[in-house]
Amino acid sequence: MPGRKSKPSGADMRGKTVMITGFTAGVGRAAAFALAAQGAELVLVGRNADKGRAVVEAIREETGCEKVEMLVGDLASQEEVRRIAGEFLSTERPLHVLFNNAGVVMQKRLLTRDGLETTFAVNHLAYFLLTNLLLERLRASAPARVVCTASDAHQVFSKGGLDFDDLQAEGRYKTFEVYGRSKLANILFTRELARRESESGVTANSFHPGFVGSDFAKNNGRFANIVMRLLSPFARSPEKGAETGVYLCNSAEVADVSGGYFCDQKPLEPADWAKRPEDAERLWRVSEELTRLT
């Protein structure tokens, strides 16, 4: 059945190329549909090819947007992140928006094939590495935007800031503390990226989507599934959760805003420990080492 043609709703994103990671469910899926409806050309990054293809077909059918493609890869692997970036760069297409959204919550401490703690690797280092690999293309496409899905979990679960002596959670692993620290890292990374790119035409902002019902608990055992079911009546829809991310991708109101943290399409002050420039710079240096970008 051919997709129905639809006029872009809201902002006009025609002629803009947007890459979104973590698009098969939750905030990323909702954002992909919204941006496609606005005419964006989408490059969607996910690790599950079958689920990804189903979402791509649904986007084409429901929005009439045919310029939707998928890159398959596991962002827990730095080799895969490099391959994904290389595949996109080889097309010589512009990149106007990079929406770093993929994320995990792990009940147990597991290591990636690179020997890194999985939550930190996926939720922060994948953002960091992919963005840096695509940065020259973003600059060449300016004005361009980097948008990162963070969370107010950094307020509750990372009090005091990052423990640079134990970024891999070897000393103590508590699920939501590790997750909260990864979301703190998202904010620090975004702020440092904004500082470094202040003259390049590339802006960088992060946002809190609110508590969104998602697939986070599916791989984390029975207890996590029970918790998610109990909390689900209080969760906002993925579409509501994605609104601020989409706003940061396309709104003229924030075209010149960089280094901000947003919720419900408004600036929000993050925790004091998310605003330390020395921590942001140190995290950048450590991340360069962990991703072998130095």
Catalytic residues: 179
Quick one: how far is CA 163 from the chain centroid? Answer: 22
Cross-strand pairs, 263: 266
DSSP 137-193: HHHHT-SEEEEEE--THHHHHSTT---TT-TT--S---HHHHHHHHHHHHHHHHHHH
Cis bond before residue 143 (omega within 30° of 0): yes
**Would you say 59 and 35 are in contact if contact means Cβ atoms under 8 Å apart?**
no
CB atoms within 10 A of CB 142: 14
Q: Write down the residue that tokens 């005091």 correspond to.
A: 160
